[in-house]
Amino acid sequence: MPGLARLLLSPPSCRDVGTLRRVVEGRTVLVTGASFGIGEATARLLAEAGAEVLLLARTGERLHAVAGDIEAAGGRAHAYRLDLSRPEDIAPLVAEVERRHPRIDLVISNAGRSIRRPALAAAERRDLERSLAVNLTGPAALLLALLPRMVAQGGGGVVNVSTVSARPPAAPRWASYQGSKAGFDLWVRSVGSELRDRGVWVSSVYLPLVRTRMSDVAGLYRHAPALTPLEAAQAVAGAVVRPRERVAPWWLAGQELAALLLPGPLGRALSHLETLERQREGRG
């Protein structure tokens, strides 16, 4: 990405593998959603820096392909199939992971799904349930199963791969995505504030648009400036190297301040855009 666009988009990042290596070499890192996109790029980057990576997602063949590439390059990787929307699968999976790996130093909670649809569309109820399962209750259940071991081993870290959309203002057509991502963000930060004195830190990385399978679905953003998956992974690496509660592009604070100070005008502007979109679609 050109320098100016990167400056505008990127959250603070770690682009130096040597710096990342000093923090993660020899550590065990579990990455959810490691079969595609940001999770895949993050797992590859962490493995390059010497971490042993545990790759979780539904698509087994992709996980094995990524793990194979990492091992061929001299790294260590293990593939675990898990559907986060099936809560009954989480405890057996965590039991297997804990049997095979004596400690987990870091969890990158990245798996997610995005959907943009009018809230009153017939499918919205199903969208809401799926989004809550993959973006909120599934990752929360996984962490509830993993955190006791982390506390017992003396600590660890959790990076929440979040989105600038999890922060105000609320945008039309994003109810399921925004609601589920914002809910998980608050949940995990609350857990972080509870466990900080027991050695567990939590960092939320609020990413802008990233060019992946997820963002490709919304043709709307095809020409918008976006990070590459590697640049997003470097932002995640930034949170690993220097854990902070919040890692965000510099302009996010401005967006939040505008939502706080100018809720009326901002709300009316967003509502106007929605009216125009509905008219373009011929739905009045």
Ligand X SMILES: NC(=O)c1ccc[n+]([C@@H]2O[C@H](COP(=O)([O-])OP(=O)(O)OC[C@H]3O[C@@H](n4cnc5c(N)ncnc54)[C@H](OP(=O)(O)O)[C@@H]3O)[C@@H](O)[C@H]2O)c1
Query: Least Å distance between CB 212 and ligand X?
Result: 3
| Closer to ligand X by Cβ: residue 219 or 284 | 219
Query: Least Å distance between CB 152 and ligand X?
Result: 26
Q: Which of 80, 177, 206, 221 is catalytic?
A: 177
| Closer to ligand X by Cβ: residue 112 or 192 | 112
Nearest 5°: the CA angle 63, 67, 68 is 115
Query: Least Å distance between CB 3 and ligand X?
Result: 21
Is position 177 annotated as part of the catalytic site?
yes
| Closer to ligand X by Cβ: residue 64 or 278 | 64
| Closer to ligand X by Cβ: residue 116 or 278 | 116
Q: State the alpha helices, DSSP H only, in 73-160.
A: 90-100, 124-132, 138-152
Could you identify the residue written with the tokens 């091992």?
Answer: 71
Residues that bind ligand X (CB under 6 A): 33, 35-39, 57-59, 62, 82-85, 110-114, 134, 161, 163, 181, 207, 209-210, 212-215
Nearest to 17 by CA among 50, 52, 39: 50
Query: Least Å distance between CB 250 and ligand X?
Result: 16
Token digits of residue 167: 């922060």
100 burial type by CB count under 10 A (0-12 exposed, 13-18 middle, 19+ buried): exposed
Report d(CA 255, CA 183) in Å as an integer: 19
Catalytic residue numbers read 177
